[in-house]
Structure 1
Amino acid sequence: MKNYWSFFMALLVVFSACDTKIVDKKRSTNNIIIPNEEVFQSISLLGDSLFTKIDSSSQSMQIKNLQEAEKQYMEDPTLENLIWIGRREAYLSRYDLAIRTFTKAVNEFPEAFEPLRHRGHRYISIRKLDEAIKDFQNAADLMRGAPIQIEQDGMPNKLNIPLSNVQFNVWYHLGLAHFLKGEWDEALEAYKNCMEVSVNDDLKIATLDWYYMTLQKLGRNVEAKDLLSQVSSDLEIIENDAYFKRLLMYKGEYQPEKLLNVDTQASDQKLQYVTQGYGLGNFYLSKGDTTMAQSIFQNVINTGYWSAFGYIASEMELSKLKNE
């Protein structure tokens, strides 16, 4: 514990420098976070190196939030406070640090499923899909029979209402990890379980979208079409508008060409473009138009938003198309 306390103290020193807008060009003793320096994170499914670069100006609020999380943990070293450090590190795209923090939580709280849920999520971010699947499966075993546990938002929605729960996030991300590996049957089973804990329209829409695409990958198009009967234009969607539009497009109620009518230069719109872009590319792929699909997947990759699920899925599709 002594070494880890030193670790957090070192972080506070580094972040204090950020507050005064003085960028320390020297490497910290713990090699933690140096603003404006690129840090390697992973290799993409297409073989590209992926880096994180923290901007001490545009991300100053996220840095301060991480500082506060570290301070709260030092004052009260609970599982929840430790997880918040990892979540704040991940919001800065320092998945290497987040995974290390979640691993500490897994080791210190072996009966808890929450840190496994979060570490698995970030294993997906760095394309370690087998490790992610193992974490989610272990989390599923540990959470069996537990009541639905609402998960507080680190980046609140427009109504500041937390919508997701830990159980949903375990099954949803387990399905995604299998999907990204092309393990359609396993993904389908996870999404069936996810539907049982999708307790509001936003969660249902997110699950139905991947559930639908998984059925299509399996060639079960009639079942996929039947699934769309649960989608109607009068659903109250707060967060998952991109998934909602994708589903309406599958139903023929939203024009495909409208799906990418998004300003990719706006930071708050880039994620929506990536999410909708993958759905649109997959739509054309299901129709047999591989040329259009490949073009759209490549446009998603060109955004550089490499941590988004739509981006990773586009990598997966392009990799398969190139190997055919």
Structure 2
Amino acid sequence: MKRICIFLLAGALVACKENNPKQAAAEAAEVYSLLGLEYYAPTEPNARLDSNLAIAQKNFEADPSEENYIWLGRRLAYKVKYNQAIEVFTNGIEQYPNSYKLYRHRGHRYLSQRKFDAAIEDFEKAAERMPAAPIEIEPDGVPNKINQPLSSTQFNVWYHLGLAHYLKGEFDKAEQAYLKCMEVSDNDDLITATVDWLYMTYRRQGKTEEATKLLEKITPDMTIVENDSYYKRLKLYQGVLPVDSVLNVNSTNSDVDLALATQGYGVGNWYLYNGDTAQAISVFERVVGGKHFSAFGFIAAEADLARLR
């Protein structure tokens, strides 16, 4: 298994262990990619992430509540401590076996680790346990630019369940999950995210008519706070944006690597839908050559490359 060197980006990316074999040998990788690479948590301090984790740890020690299990696991995951985060969520589930929120968050980190079957099992358990209503707004671990959470627990369970099936190539099951997700997509950002993945799911099944009809939900007057890259992918599929403008990510973007993974995956799909598999593979390879290995576009590019190569 090869190791890849990744530079630290805002505390969210892995550090290279190639120059420290003893350290690499002593630590388990946080992610084993679908292409045979290992990713490790960064060792460099990050003041914001370290402070947030310390607060979560203190709160948990004072009160090991369901909510404090969730936040301790989430703060560990933001530092790419996926193994520890999953352990915390697992311990939490032992204490709170009906917690659909703990299953939702553990499933997310199984996705980060490319453990799709385990993720699906967790999201299905979350779906069985969570109420259909009322919609529960989920607090953001990393606030958006308007400092207002936009997604709900219900949305995140169906969205990530659909993604897990998509990444496995189970497009019929992904479709069913995304249709459920559409029912709880109640703002422009959530509509954009769900339409994007459902559109790709339809295209992978050869349901071109359904995919084209779905794009009618995407309009020029939408207010997008978080999912600008998904919005651009959809405008590419609509023929509104040229392919080069979507692939060429602005270097001034606050998270250029995330944008490359997200928009790049859309471009690769566009080439794939238009019969240019070689160019699709080239774009997917560019995506996985980036730094944001936890982005869903990055993971999806890995999955497609593993199938196409």
Q: Give TM-score scaled by structure 2 length.
A: 0.89
> Secondary structure of 1:49's match?
strand
Alpha-carbon separation, structure 2, partners of 1:38 and 1:275: 30
1:50 counterpart residue number: 39
> Equivalent of 1:106, from 75, 79, 93?
93
5 Å-filtered alignment, 1:142-157, equals 142-157=129-144
- One-letter amino acid matched to 1:282: N
**TM-aligned CA deviation for residue 266 of structure 1:** 6.6
For 2:269 and 2:262, how far apart are their aligned partners in 1? 11
Paired residue type of 1:169: N
Contact residue 43 and residue 49 of structure 1 kept, 8 A: yes
* Higher Cα Rg, which structure: 1
Question: Which segments of 5 or more consecutive residues in structure 1 lack a partner in the other structure?
Answer: 1-33
- Aligned partner of 1:40 among 23, 29, 51: 29
- Specify whether residues 264 and 105 from structure 1 end up closer, same or farther in structure 2 by C-alpha distance, changes over 3 A only: farther
Q: 2:159 aligns with which of 148, 172, 184?
A: 172
Aligned-pair distance for 1:136? 0.3
Using the TM superposition, give the Cα deviation of residue 263 of structure 1 relative to its aligned residue in structure 2, in angstroms: 4.6
1:181 aligns with 2:168: yes
Aligned to 1:66, the other structure's residue is in SS state helix
Which position in structure 1 is the counterpart of 2:105? 118
> Where has structure 1 moved over 3 Å in runs of 4 or more?
263-267
Deviation, 1:82, is 1.4
> Does structure 2 retain, via aligned residues, the 8 Å contact 1:233–1:248?
no
CA distance in 1, matches of 2:27, 2:254: 19
Asked if the contact 1:114–1:139 (Cα under 8 Å) also holds between the matched residues in 2, the reply is: yes
CA distance in 1, matches of 2:92, 2:256: 33
Aligned partner of 2:266 in structure 1 is 279
Range with bigger deviation, 190-199 or 77-86: 77-86
Instruction: Give 1:268 deviation, angstroms.
Output: 1.7
Partner amino acid for 2:174? Answer: A
Please state whether the residue corresponding to 1:40 is helix, strand or coil.
coil
Q: Is the 8 A contact 1:264 1:303 kept in 2?
A: no
Aligned-partner SS, 2:39: strand
Cα distance per residue 1:38-58 (max 9 Å; x no partner): 7511321112222222321xx
1:26-82 C-alpha deviation (Å, 9 max, x unpaired): xxxxxxxx9xx97511321112222222321xx221011000111112222211111
Q: Secondary structure in 2 aligned to 1:225?
A: helix
Q: Distance in 2 between matches of 1:224 and 1:129?
A: 25
Larger displacement relative to structure 2 (288-297 or 212-221) = 288-297
SS of residue in 2 equivalent to 1:104: helix
Question: Could you tell me how far apart the structure 2 residues matched to 1:110 and 1:264 are?
Answer: 45
> Identity rate of aligned residues, in percent?
49
After superposition, the CA RMSD in angstroms is 1.6
